[in-house]
Structure 1
Amino acid sequence: MPDWLIPPTEGFRAEDLDHLPDLPPHTELIDGSLVLVSPQKVFHSILIDVLVAALYLATPREYRVRREISVTLAPRQRPEPDLMVVRADASTGKDQTGYTADSVLLAIEVVSPESAERDRYRKPQIYAQAGIPHFWRIEDNDGSPVVYVHELEPVKSCYVVTGIYHGRVRVDQPYPIDIDLDEVRHRI
């Protein structure tokens, strides 16, 4: 049994993810506990590809699009959003393993059956508490993505829904973005 399966009494810390040997890919830290992620479905993978392509075209030069890279939100919180938009000046090179919350402009989670509770409830809560200004949650509606766009309400440190999108997502915040969601169905 690997040593990392036994958590320390106080739980794991964000920096531990960089030093634990042989962790499975995409291991997250939520509330001091390691979360091992199940293999993803084709819908999830294609949706991420479509989003990455569209975001690369729309994202201003002062930002970067990152997929499946962790973000340290607090000492015991280091989730791995499916996608993030981060400040370009926060990128340090090819060996970087994560970002800090203050460098993230937008976090995106595509809800999977095994991660539904985390993606719908816990992750938005900790992203908001860390001050990430924008959050998208994307659900699978029988092969068609539904995008729930949220903006941070800073006084209460929680997200409010600013739009629900089917077929196409067009937003002006955090910058103009236009994504044809029907592209996902055509690629499956």
Structure 2
Amino acid sequence: MTAESVEHRVQWPVPPQDGYTVDDLFTLPDLPPHTELIDGSLVFVSPQRYFHFAVIHLLANGLRSTVPPDLKVACEMTVVLDRRNGPEPDISVVRKEAVTGPRQTCFKAADVLLAVEVVSPDSEARDRDYKPHKYAAAGIPHYWLVEMAGQDDHPVVQVYERGEATGTYALTGIFHDQVKVSVPYDIHIDLTAFEQY
């Protein structure tokens, strides 16, 4: 082993015996951007694809175009579900009073009405399985899962709503060209505009 290879060795944090907490997520030094906390484990994300970037902007702009004054649309902010879970939805619709200022780093699950995840190759299992269960258990009423589909790699939005009796999400629609829903507020987004991004 050369001196040069020793100098460039990465020092990964050693997890505590019971796993990390949300407090650790916000205080550990030098974590990569967009690090998430799932079941006490730190999750590092891969560099995003252009599809991911463009869909986030398309949907965020669409959500903002009709958002009522008592709600806000936020991108890539941590949502604290409990002391061992702090995922970072790609987009969140939150209560306006939950936005406390420009130095804010997270939202509480109780303030989130909609969580949106755009699937990436490294996040498929988390976005399809783990996160929806955790979001529903934390009481977030609406969840959207966005995937790349077709030969032209266009976005498809799967819309879920949380049942009060079951505490789980049920699929309420799959949208290929336009998202048109009335909850959590009246939303109409032209998915074909993706080509312009």
Deviation track 1:156-176 (CA, whole Å, cap 9, x = no partner) reads: 211000111011100001110
Deviation track 1:37-73 (CA, whole Å, cap 9, x = no partner) reads: 0011001101111111111111101001000000000
**Root-mean-square deviation (Å):** 1.0
Give the superposition deviation at 1:179: 0.3
Decide whether the 8 Å contact of 1:72 with 1:79 is kept in 2. yes
Report the secondary structure of 1:169's partner residue.
strand
Name the amino acid aligned to 1:50.
L
Matched, 1:172 2:190: no
Identity of aligned residues (%): 49
Matched positions, count: 186
Deviation track 1:67-110 (CA, whole Å, cap 9, x = no partner) reads: 00000001100000000000000111011000000000000000
Partner of 2:32: 24
Distance 1:158 1:173 in 2: 17
Partner of 1:91: 99
TM-score (norm. length: structure 1): 0.96
Distance 1:177 1:114 in 2: 29
Report the secondary structure of 1:6's partner residue.
coil
**Structure ID, larger Rg:** 2
Matched, 1:15 2:46: no
Superposed, 1:31-110 pairs within 5 Å as 31-110=39-118
Report the secondary structure of 1:5's partner residue.
coil
Superposed, 1:74-153 pairs within 5 Å as 74-142=82-150, 143-153=153-163
Decide whether the 8 Å contact of 1:147 with 1:166 is kept in 2. yes
